[in-house]
Structure 1
Amino acid sequence: MKNAALQIVIACAVIVALLAILEVGVAYGHLKPYQFPPASKVWRGFVETSTVGFPTGISIWSHTLTTISRVAQGYAAALLLAIPLGLLIGALPILDKLTAPIVVFCRSVATLSLLPLVIVWFGAGELTKIVLIGYGCFWVMLSNVIAGVKYIDPVLIRAARSLGVRNMELYRRIVLPAALPRIFNGARMALGVGFMVIVGAEMIGTIEGLGALIMEARSFYRSEITIVGMLIIGIIGFAISIGLARLERALLPWATTSEEMSR
């Protein structure tokens, strides 16, 4: 506990020191403010985007809600498709062998490289952004669900069968609970992919959303507003990831205990 507190104090001290160096460097002309905006300028950019808006009339809160809505839709669609499909593929070795090349190939394709093609199919509206987010999240989630089912300790399966557990009961009572830790891990990874994709997707065909905010700020050399957008995305992703981790600990106490024992 003391080590964790010490690490937090050291990390905070390093951050404060770096911010102070940046502030002094800009104040004395050693650093250019449009290249290395100090914390004070970033704060003024945050106040501007919160009140006046950037572009004018669109506040940072409107950008944030728009981005969260798009990510939530694509992320939810990916999970709803990937979880049942991954459970099925992972449970059937033949199906796993048939689909493995497809999963590896599609997971390796950079999601944003599909942007021109998706625009041709769906136009430059909201659906394109949601489809791209869903695509990126889907393959990450699917891979983790399949792995979660495939790599269950066979001793658990044999023990359950020796006690007479069969078919769907085996799947419900043994396979699914054992796969849940990896499924939660996949959900966190997919969330990170979703936020990476949305920044690129929002840079085309819209002026609303954190990605669009970053693009507009870049066009006007407002690097402090670019940093504001980046910080908001990071804070949202971090908060949701922490929430998923706490949900996992609450729902899967056995997984947390096993992890702590292995350390």
Structure 2
Amino acid sequence: MVGDCFQSIAVEKNDENICARIKDTFSGPRCFVLLAKQKVDVSICDKIEGRDSHVSDCIQGVAEQKNDESLCAQIEKSTYSDSCYASLASLKQDASICASIEQERKRNSCYENLEASPEALAEEEQAEEEGDEKYGIIEKDGKVYIKSKPGEVLSISSSDLPDWANAQMVVVGASAVCVGPPSTISSGDSNVLLNGLPVARKGDETSHGGSITEGSDKIFINGVPAAFVGAQTVCPMVSPGPVPHVGGPISNNGY
């Protein structure tokens, strides 16, 4: 695609001005996000036009690169700023950051997520003790741990994963079976891309303002349980028509 071509050149030349030439409504914002993270410059996010979710992804990406949760306050909508705080809490393994999350349900989920992955935490602690920090895809005891280096985006493909994990993992854009309007997964870990799309985790958002409520006990993304096909989502009751919108299980991988 033309957008992908411009994006590759922009990243290689470290020049976000090239991103402005992309007309694609996905590749254009994604280009700015990649450059903002690469330069660790949140001001680049101001150049993104369109959906609030694209701007929030950009700010969150820089916040994750800088390991600085204070940047999450620049995200106007609490739906997205809450996701930013939850991500930083997970990255820093700091439950105190969860207190900044406005929505009670998401705040509780943030606290639960930090307690829900002892295997991943134990893996990290062991690596630190051994002085051998591991990144990438790590298989151990029937589990898969996917970890990106601080300040870098980890890009993987389906062929890099065990078949069973590839069949389960979910990315942004995956669909959920719902009552009412269709719903998709709208947020994920922007530091881990599977087939070019952010990998979804427990606690990530759906397109109707809900979230993923289940995470895998065998796959962990930067310490957070991964979303999986069949995992449940919840949504607020939205009634644009005669049938209310109710969250349901994730029905496909999204790639």
Instruction: Work out whether the TM-score is over 0.5.
Output: no
Query: Could you state the TM-score of these two structures normalised by the residue count of structure 2?
Result: 0.23
**Greater helix content:** 1
Greater gyration radius? 1
